[in-house]
Chains A and B, each alone.
Chain A
Amino acid sequence: MRRVEQVMGFPVSLRVDDEDVPESAADEVFAWLREVDARFSPFKADSEVCRLDRGEIARGDVSADLDEVLGLCEEYRAATGGAFDVRLPGRGLDPCAVVKGWSVQRAAELLKAAGARRFVLNAGGDVVASGGPWRVGVRHPEHADKVCTVLELTDAAVATSARYERGDHILDARTGRPATGLLSLTVVASSLTIADTTATAAFAMGADGIAWASARPGCEVFAVDAERRVLRTEGFPVAGAAPGAAA
């Protein structure tokens, strides 16, 4: 089964290889992602995020889901020394960077609960792979039709942060200026919640983010710096690498 739908402003591609998984499992995935968009979008005036930002609901009265998201935002803000912050001065609350990975990981869990064992879910470049081996390429930061490395994943999540798609949209909250120290940074972890948030937070830190992300527990990193040098962790699961190195 293959499905592609546009949700939250980006295309979501789903491939499920298990024959016995019904189409309704995919329906459930896309319904969940649309629900997340309605509840957590900073661009929808009636979303829970906007109502919290306007003070219509108190921090203590938010839903359990939003409470979890805000907890993650705070955890990464503290861990990056303030470089990653969903509350920038002069701007509204924007937890998108955390919501994306968190909600797509939850979608992958819905698929597993529906009996899917071998699938790949790609949400705008963030990938959850299950029941591999799966070969997942990392887009080349300068050539959209090329990859700069290929991963072999069994059960893992991959997220990449870069400037080539949406320009300088990731800001270093310590300076308020766009993060420009890296061309792209990819993180592999056991869950997309961790991989996506770590990649975005590390990108906001600039060149220092490579070492920072590499030291995060359970994270493998592949980064391209502004001088086009690749720096990666030893355990980054490059396809065809020595046995034991695969995630």
Chain B
Amino acid sequence: MKRAVPVAVLSIAGLVPVWLYEPSAATSTQITAPASTPSTSSSSGSSSTVVAGTTVDTEKGAVQVEVTFTGQKITAVKMLQQPNHPQTTAAVPKLIEETLEAQSADIDSVSGATITSEGYKESLQAALDAKGA
């Protein structure tokens, strides 16, 4: 158990570059932090052990995991540090691809890029405002 803990933590730290890997980008991941002694805290009456892994510096920022062991089993893995990068946010939902249409529909309002007063004169919103006034 004593040896199993740091070995497991390093294994998980080793998986981090895999988790960050994207096929399109040439990743240059480096583990710069030395394998420090994991901080172990064990509460009496419970066999759970919480171990913080070493901080791994990746191209996208620092990554650190915390692993909870119950006996010899890993029961939880938590991210202590993760890169603040767009690609590590929530999973991307499925996108639907369509062709661009030009419609003349019956509408109440129009969303568009911030319109200038010049642009407004020729805008659909101006026509809607004039119609309703």
Contacts and interface: CB of A to CB of B under 8 A. Distances in A.
Nearest to B83: A81
Contacts of A137: 103, 105, 107, 109-111, 124
Contacts of A146: 102-104
A126 B111 contact: yes
| Most chain A beta carbons < 10 A, residue from B85, B123, B132 | B123
A9 interface: yes
A144 B85 contact: no
A161 B105 contact: no
Contacts of B84: 78-79, 81
A210 B94 CA distance: 11
Chain B interface SS verdict (over half) = loop
B62 to A, nearest CB: 14
Contacts of A11: 115, 117, 120, 125-126
Contacts of B34: none
Contacts of A43: none
B114 A215 contact: no
Contacts of B76: none
B122 A233 contact: no
Interface stretch (A18-26, A45-53, A128-136): A128-136
Contacts of A224: 100
Interface string B118-133: 0110111110110011
Interface of B: 84-86, 89-117, 119-120, 122-126, 128-129, 132-133
Interface of A: 2, 4, 6, 9-11, 13, 15, 78-81, 100, 120, 122, 124-127, 129, 134-151, 158-166, 184, 186, 205, 208, 210-212, 214-217, 224, 228-235, 239
